Amino acid sequence: MPARRIIPCLDVKDGRVVKGVQFRDHRDAGDIVEQANRYRDEGADELVFYDIGASAEGRSIDLGWVREIARIIDIPFAVAGGLRTRDQAAACLDAGADKISLNSPALERPQLIDELARDFGSQCVVLGVDSFAVQGDYFVKQYTGDPDRTLDAGRRTLDWVREACDRGAGEVVVNCMRRDGVRGGYDLAHTQAVVTAVDVPVIASGGAGIPEHFRDAFLDVGVSGALAATVFHDRIIAIPELKEFLTACGIETRR
């Protein structure tokens, strides 16, 4: 397997980075450009920017900050938020994003995945899944950027990720909602079910609190990357030290 990736996640609201717990009660976590610079310098492998209000509010991403991020960093980054058309996705890629991450817009119109994979390649198309465990099964939530508008998408997670990958998604980010922001560890069983269901790289998301949580996701589940926010934003875990720890555990990381 290629070197495992460490991916800070930056939720964006009104041009600022924010962080919540279980997708609620967001607090300010800094300036978007300053945070991108910081993570570039600390050795992040990729960044993901989620405009958390865009889908629920019926708008798309502000291309201004996408261009600014592309100007200052030299690592890959993905953007997500209200991208409902091929032209909106193309504008983000033209502004400098390397990947487009789809969540609620793909649930609204799954054919969007086919269109973007056809025109830009599967490597550019990431499926973000906000997934909720209920009595041993997993279900998809929609419009999770706004707690007042969050809906059940009416889909089982495993059915949805299989369909999306068949349509051309080249990567899946599994956001385990019960674990988000609580720092108790990734939901390994939940993530493993997705890894087993698809044949594209899977990124674990939701729950990282200590370096051992990253180790377990890589060794026990076999994810391609691990995404986290709180532990990086609050400087609980430093990326260089995390990579040293993982290397000592026999896990190859990008140096």
Q: Which residues are annotated as catalytic?
A: 11, 130
Placement of tokens 């909106």 in the chain: 88
- CB under 8 Å to 87, separation ≥6 — which residues? none
Token pair listed for 52:
């958390």
129, 119, 114: which is closest to 172 by C-alpha?
Answer: 129
205, 61, 202: which is closest to 126 by C-alpha?
Answer: 202
Calpha distance 148→242 (Å, rounded)? 36
Cβ–Cβ under 8 Å, residues 218 and 242: no
Token pair listed for 212:
């051992």
3-state secondary structure (DSSP) of residue 141 = strand
Query: Do the strands 171-176 and 202-205 form a parallel or antiparallel pair, or are they unpaired?
Result: parallel
Phi, psi of 245 (to 5 degrees): -60, -45
192, 220, 221, 226: which is closest to 207 by C-alpha?
Answer: 226
- CB under 8 Å to 149, separation ≥6 — which residues? 56, 143
